[in-house]
Amino acid sequence: MSSHVQKWGHAPPKLLTATLLPISFTLIIHPLLPLLPLPNRILSPPPTFPALQASVGFALLAFVGAVHVVPRVSQAFVDKGLRGRDLCKPGGRVTGPWVPECLGLPIACWYIGLMMMFIPFPFSHIFSARDTDSSVGREAFPQTELTLYLSSLLSLLTATLLGFIDDLFDIRWRHKLPIPLVAAVPTLLVYYAEGGLTSVVLPGAVSSWIRSIGLDWGEAGKNVVDLGPIYYIYLLLLPTFTTNSINILAGINGVEALQALIIALSIALNDVLYLPIWPHAFLTRLGFGNPHEGRLLEWAAGEVVKRHLLSLYFVLPLAGVCAGFLWHNWYPARAFPGDTLCYFAGMAFSAVAIQGHYTKTLILFFIPQIFNFVLSVPQLFGLVDCPRHRLPLYDSKSDLLRPSLVHFEKPPPLKTKITLETLALLGLVHLERSNPSASRSDDPPLTRSKRINGSIPSTDQPATTTTHIVSSTNLTILNFLLVHCGPLHEQTLCLLVGAIQIACSGLAFGIRYGLGSLVYGGDRR
Amino acid sequence: MSSHVQKWGHAPPKLLTATLLPISFTLIIHPLLPLLPLPNRILSPPPTFPALQASVGFALLAFVGAVHVVPRVSQAFVDKGLRGRDLCKPGGRVTGPWVPECLGLPIACWYIGLMMMFIPFPFSHIFSARDTDSSVGREAFPQTELTLYLSSLLSLLTATLLGFIDDLFDIRWRHKLPIPLVAAVPTLLVYYAEGGLTSVVLPGAVSSWIRSIGLDWGEAGKNVVDLGPIYYIYLLLLPTFTTNSINILAGINGVEALQALIIALSIALNDVLYLPIWPHAFLTRLGFGNPHEGRLLEWAAGEVVKRHLLSLYFVLPLAGVCAGFLWHNWYPARAFPGDTLCYFAGMAFSAVAIQGHYTKTLILFFIPQIFNFVLSVPQLFGLVDCPRHRLPLYDSKSDLLRPSLVHFEKPPPLKTKITLETLALLGLVHLERSNPSASRSDDPPLTRSKRINGSIPSTDQPATTTTHIVSSTNLTILNFLLVHCGPLHEQTLCLLVGAIQIACSGLAFGIRYGLGSLVYGGDRR
């Protein structure tokens, strides 16, 4: 077994494991102590949020388990052909090192197993209620929260299974698209069952503009607009966006898991802000608790706190497994996540945001992914040629990454040209143009004859097309960063993406609690 | 695509598909019509059990989908190495025909996808309730039933994922054992949340015997005994039993799917008996509705009807997919189920029985599996040698199956001898014994020298051991049937197992509603 540990995965941190395990078990067992028939005097006072404390314990356990499970199962994955060459290493596609693929699967299984074991904790007050009066215990059971929890788990499990099937069988693009949609069905049905909110709050200015043009949606005098079924379409698209946007911001060691980790931590931080542990002044400054908007009233009812606690139960262990996986996926990667991890993590983010009613805040945490997606649109939709891999190019001499290029043998069509020139103007791509006279003499005969046989005869072209675009950098955030920050080491590039993700999360908090209170007033969900 | 259909799987039935599809859609869409803004006069009266009607539609759809999905995905499975040789065909292990393996996976995915799409139907009365008053609609939402439904789906999905992982990675026995336990956790937690019944009804005689020896469990004057946590252990063991007992009654074409189909139909029949559509006299004869036992009261409350409806929603489409899979798994098999199907079907049976509070009735439907398991115990627990495969032996000359044998080179130890002789006495195995003088001269030199070097010198043995057991038929129900019914064709043997399963279901109904009312009185759950 130890030889596998050496061969596959980085060596697990022994000291950290030995430190975290006892802490984790203490955090998990402590809330259970009042259930035991122990004399009261030897019990410490029960924690304020017993399930949350256990959740922190589960998060640590999630980390430790993830760190240890990856090396143990890697051999089995490699034996089944689930391995890929690390393209950004010496040798690349041909002789680059083999790395086990799809290790998102054990990670997701470990996470879901933990989440199942966690079920009794948020619902454990029935244990004590039962002892005194069984009918009270039954009525007090938080049925609704359990339903939310189960439906989220169901969505997660579906995403994991379908993600793994995708990794294994390489499902075609058009069959793949409905995967997050199907996986989201349980979550959405429960959202509906819950009396699902379908209204959004508009900024004051937009709201008065809509009213001024005669449309009068929603309640008069309020900025709330009920979108009805349109809101469900938005909620269906959300998982498609969260899963795929992580999936396309990929290609270098550690970058998928790092994004997922930072997003999970950002969500957790946002959730913690809603817990009733902060002094009032601090919250008012953040834009919370504007009394005349009824915010505090809703708060007092505990509804919002409950939702954000439920969200924390999901994202804390998620952050744990992502960090644990990152241990092995970090440069030089000893494990690849596969689509499984992206589907699984993306679905988890969507599910908790839908259940927690903070989908718009969630989208704010995806700023780098949105940027990457928008930048990719011309290639995804065929406006610009899209090669099989768009990940950066490895330069074995300097051990650095350079932007990868898409080459144009023939001068690209007008729509491509306009797109690329616009992007170049915005500094998003770097274009290489041909010098017509030089190119004609330098071109190998084959290319030249091709060009002459092509649709563009060179003699009667207008002057502007004599210099045409020969190549462009691929349209991803990774290549964009390499264009501007020069050749970078793989690890540096990953750290840079992480830093940008963190900065964007900071920006998201600014928008949500700074700009948001200006634009929306205090009336937000 | 059509060449795959020819190569993998039997050709799907075109006429049957064309007949079933419109019926299925009609059944599914009919309950939805009142939701549309249509004038009342063009609507036929709504069905009594709208969701049940839709469920029948889903069952037909499940069949049609399963028949069509298997040939389409077979190639992908074969490409990934998920294939096995059909051992009971000419060529057997060496040149037997390749058959795609693990096709329980698409079957399970199709089933679970349908069950997710079905979610709105049992809960669709909220659609109409909503329109009039949203708060009423929200309160009337059958939260508890949804929780039961979701937890069962979660258990099913877990069983499917773990079953597939098992098929793919060949998990070791000791790691495999907890799979059904983990998969059962969501179901059991919800059972507990539901106020889970932990009491059993004892037969009158046993109950008075217990009281006579001084133990006094449960309420006085009643035969109900509260087992508490022990009942949960029983519920945890149930999925382990249902999944593995189907898994070990395997080895010939069609037998796993046929068992699952017959058990599903038996459960459905039992559920239908609980629907309030039967004349009273018929029910009284069956042992239902004994008024002084409060049975009718419970019935009137609709609790029992609801539970059995929920069970029907699960088993009808399950029967559909099993029948659809059987189409391809029937002799000569063009698809193998893998462990996935056994885990998935076994878990489904357990989940519906636990949620429906009829676990004991369920066990009655597993009589052939129990027989097979008990018969297998000596081989499973090492009392008798257990070869890798215990499936019957194929005789290529006659194209018939003969019982497979376990050979003993050395005279078997005493415990094995006693076990086998007892089983032979009961007619469960066929033993071959050596004629000592003949065997000594016929043995090839290598075997003889082995025996002489072995621990049992033949000279100083008592007279009884001079004829020792040379071989025994393997301890499975299939070999048992072959011992008694002579060599059989593979298809005949499968039909025989099916016939026995049906006969045992008849016996189960007899025990449940005939013998049961004699032993228990009317007070059963």
ipTM, two decimals: 0.81
Angstroms from B115 CA to nearest CA on chain A: 10
pLDDT in tens, A238-264: 999 999 889 888 889 999 999 999 999
Best B103, B114, B119 residue to mutate vs chain A (most A CBs within 10 Å)? B119
Nearest to B138 among A80, A120, A195 (CB): A195
Min distance B114 CA to chain A CA atoms (Å): 10
Residue A489 distance to chain B (closest CA, Å): 36
Report the candidate in B78, B497, B115, B77 with the shortest Cα–Cα distance to residue B326.
B497
Q: Do residue A161 and residue B161 have CB atoms under 8 angstroms apart?
A: yes
Helix, strand or coil for residue B488? Answer: strand
Size of interface A-B (CB pairs under 8 A): 96
- Unique residue bearing structure tokens 């005949």: B492
Q: Do B146 and A116 touch (CB under 8 A)?
A: no
Contacts of A153 in chain B (CB under 8 A): 154, 186
- The reply to whether residue B109 touches residue A161, judged by beta carbons under 8 angstroms, is yes
CB contact under 8 A, A190 and B150: yes
- How far CA A125 is from CA of A50, A139, A153, A300, B205, in Å, comes to 10, 12, 21, 20, 40
Residue B200 has phi, psi (to 5 degrees) of: -120, 155
pTM above 0.90, yes or no: no
pLDDT tens-digit profile of A298-352? 555 577 888 899 999 999 999 999 999 999 999 899 999 988 999 999 999 999 9
Smallest Cβ distance to B113: which of A80, A160, A182? A182
Give chain A positions within 8 Å (CB) of B164: 161
Q: Min CA distance, B488 vs chain A (Å)?
A: 38
Q: How many CB atoms lie within 10 A of CB A285?
A: 12
CA–CA separation, B494 and A396 (whole Å):
62
Other beta carbons within 10 Å of B248: 18
Of the residues A169, A172, A194, A198, the best mutation for testing chain B's interface (the one with the most B CB atoms within 10 Å of its CB) is: A169
Task: For residue B80, give the nearest of A120, A169, A195 by CB distance.
Answer: A169
Cβ-defined contact of A150 to B105 (cutoff 8 Å): no
**Cα angle at A388 between A382 and A390, to 5 degrees?**
85
B112, closest residue in chain A (CA to CA): A158
Contact B238, B306 (CB under 8 A): no
Q: What pLDDT does B155 receive?
A: 93
Return the closest-CA partner of residue B352 out of B200, B505, B192, B151: B151
**DSSP H or E run through A199:** strand A199-201
Could you report the per-residue pLDDT of A29-62, keeping only the tens digit for each?
888 777 777 776 666 677 778 889 999 999 999 9
pLDDT category at A443 given cuts 50, 70, 90 is very low
Distances in whole angstroms, Cα of residue A306 to Cα of each of A79, A147, A299: 45, 13, 10
Name the DSSP letter for residue B291.
G
Which residues from chain B sit within 8 angstroms of residue A81, using beta carbons? 80-81
Partners of residue A160 in chain B, C-beta under 8 Å: 161
At B69 the pLDDT is 93
pLDDT (0 to 100) of residue A455: 41
Q: How close, in Å, is residue B154 to chain A by CA atoms? A: 6
**CA B47 to the chain's CA centroid:** 31
Nearest CA in chain B to A192: B138
Pairwise CB contact (< 8 Å): B146 & A146? no
A189 CB neighbours in chain B (<8 A) are 119-120, 123
pLDDT, chain A, mean:
81
Distance from CA of B113 to the nearest CA of A (A): 8
Which of B79, B135, B146, B149 to probe the A interface (max A CBs under 10 A)? B146
Q: Which of B146, B154, B161 sits opposite A160 (nearest CB)?
A: B161
Q: What is the SS3 assignment for A433?
A: strand
Query: Which among A76, A141, A154 has the least Cβ separation from residue B153?
Result: A154
pLDDT in tens, A354-376: 888 888 899 999 999 999 999 99
pLDDT tens, position by position, for chain B (525 residues)? 344 434 788 888 899 999 999 999 999 988 877 767 777 666 667 677 888 999 999 999 999 999 999 999 999 999 888 898 988 888 888 888 899 999 999 999 999 999 988 888 887 555 444 444 444 444 456 777 888 899 999 999 999 998 999 888 888 777 777 788 888 888 887 777 666 667 776 666 776 676 676 665 545 455 677 777 888 888 889 999 999 889 888 889 999 999 999 999 999 999 998 888 877 777 777 666 554 444 444 555 577 888 899 999 999 999 999 999 999 999 899 999 988 999 999 999 999 998 888 888 999 999 999 999 999 999 888 888 888 788 899 998 999 999 999 988 888 888 899 999 999 999 999 999 887 655 444 444 443 334 334 344 444 444 444 678 899 999 999 999 999 997 999 999 999 999 999 999 999 998 888 777 666 654 444
- What's the pLDDT at B285? 72
- Structural domain boundaries in chain B: 15-124+142-386+491-520
Going from the C-alpha of A176 to that of each of A123, A165, A167, A350, the distances in angstroms are 36, 10, 11, 18
The residue count of chain A comes to: 525
Which 8-state DSSP code applies to residue A366? Answer: T
Q: What is the pLDDT confidence band of residue A4, given thresholds at 50, 70 and 90?
A: very low
Q: Please, which residues have CB within 8 angstroms of residue B29's CB and are 6 or more apart in sequence?
A: none
3-class secondary structure, A471: strand
A73, A113, A153: residue with CB nearest B182: A113
A182/B116 Cβ within 8 A: yes
Cβ neighbours of residue A15 closer than 8 Å, sequence gap 6 or more: none
Strands A431-433 and A469-473: antiparallel
**Cβ contact, residue pair A143, B168, below 8 Å:** no
Q: Which residue of A has its CA nearest to B197?
A: A134
Distance CA A168, CA A175 (A): 14
Q: Which residues of A touch B80 (CB under 8 A)?
A: 81, 168-169
Flag whether pLDDT at A222 surpasses 70: no
Residue in B136, B147, B344 to test binding to A, most A beta-carbons within 10 Å: B147
